[in-house]
């Protein structure tokens, strides 16, 4: 079956540091890949997505590239801010009509001033 | 624009009591609807999904049930809550394929 593996957190960084959160996946076929962000006490928001190999999703300074050869979709940001502190979830959709998403366990990011 | 409403935001219920959580979607027709649970340290677990009125698929057999009485309404229920039902419940909708989900703001359920 499908699965998503994320690096365990929390990831603790100082403001303006470089961020990488690793995500690898196992899936049949050609899944779409997503990063969601969850701020404290809130639901999940779509951060970015990529639908085919070598696509790069980007939003709010975050980027992730769909690497089929390494089955990875690592999240990066060049300079984090305190407001980026949240839990980040990597997810995949197998593209079936039911569109069920398989999520990783989430990685908490804590950014200090 | 499409919006999703989920309520209540927080709920404290005694063991053995019933549960009803409601989710409604506006601004779209015939969405796929989903209930997820987020337990502490365990990520997101898909509980139920629905592709149409009256059509419910269960991913994990447990103490919960779901119903879709109207196109844009999705209800999560239990007849008797267990302590293990505590968690953060999220409703979501999608139009399919690579669109991803739009999530509601969640319900924090504590069973005491």
pLDDT over 90 at A90, yes or no: yes
DSSP sequence for A25-83: EE-SS--EEEEEEE-TTS-EEEEEEE-STT-EEEETTEEEE-BTTTTB--EEESS--GG
Does residue A18 contact residue A79 with C-beta atoms inside 8 Å? Answer: yes
Mean pLDDT split into 10-residue runs, chain B, 112 residues: 88 97 91 89 86 90 90 96 94 77 92 96
* pLDDT per position as a tens digit, A25-35: 999 888 999 99
Cα distances from A36 to residues A90, B8, B52, B71, B101, in angstroms, run 6, 23, 25, 26, 9
Under 8 Å between Cβ of A8 and A106: no
Portion 31-70 of A in contact with B at CB < 8 A: 32, 34, 36, 42-46, 49, 51
B57: chain A residues, CB-CB within 8 Å: 98
Q: Burial-class residue B84 by CB neighbours within 10 Å (0-12, 13-18, 19+).
A: exposed
Contacts of B41 in chain A (CB under 8 A): 105
Residue A58: pLDDT above 90? yes
Taking the CA of residue A53 and the nearest CA in chain B, the distance in Å comes to: 13
What average pLDDT does the structure give for chain A?
92
Residue A98 pLDDT > 70: no
pLDDT of A17 > 90? The answer is yes
């Amino acid at each position: 079956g499908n699965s998503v593996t994320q690096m365990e957190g929390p990831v603790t960084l100082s403001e303006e540091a470089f961020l990488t959160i690793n995500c690898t996946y196992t899936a049949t076929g050609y899944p779409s890949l997503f990063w969601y962000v969850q701020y404290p006490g809130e639901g999940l928001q779509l951060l970015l997505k990529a639908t085919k190999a070598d696509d790069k999703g980007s939003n709010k300074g975050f980027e992730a590239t769909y690497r089929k050869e390494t089955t990875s979709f690592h999240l990066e940001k060049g300079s984090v801010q305190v407001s980026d502190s949240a839990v980040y979830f990597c997810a995949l959709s197998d593209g079936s009509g039911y569109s069920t998403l398989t999520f990783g366990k989430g990685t908490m990011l804590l950014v200090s001033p | 624009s499409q919006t999703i409403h989920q309520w209540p935001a927080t709920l404290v219920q005694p063991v053995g009591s019933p549960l009803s959580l409601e989710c409604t979607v506006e601004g779209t027709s015939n969405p796929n609807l989903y209930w997820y649970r987020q337990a502490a340290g365990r990520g997101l677990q898909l509980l139920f999904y629905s592709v149409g009125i009256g059509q419910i698929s269960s991913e994990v057999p447990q103490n919960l049930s779901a119903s879709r009485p109207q196109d844009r309404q999705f209800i999560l229920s239990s007849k008797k809550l267990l302590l293990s039902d505590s968690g953060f419940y999220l409703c979501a909708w999608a139009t399919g394929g690579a669109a991803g989900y739009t999530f509601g703001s969640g319900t924090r359920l504590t069973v005491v």
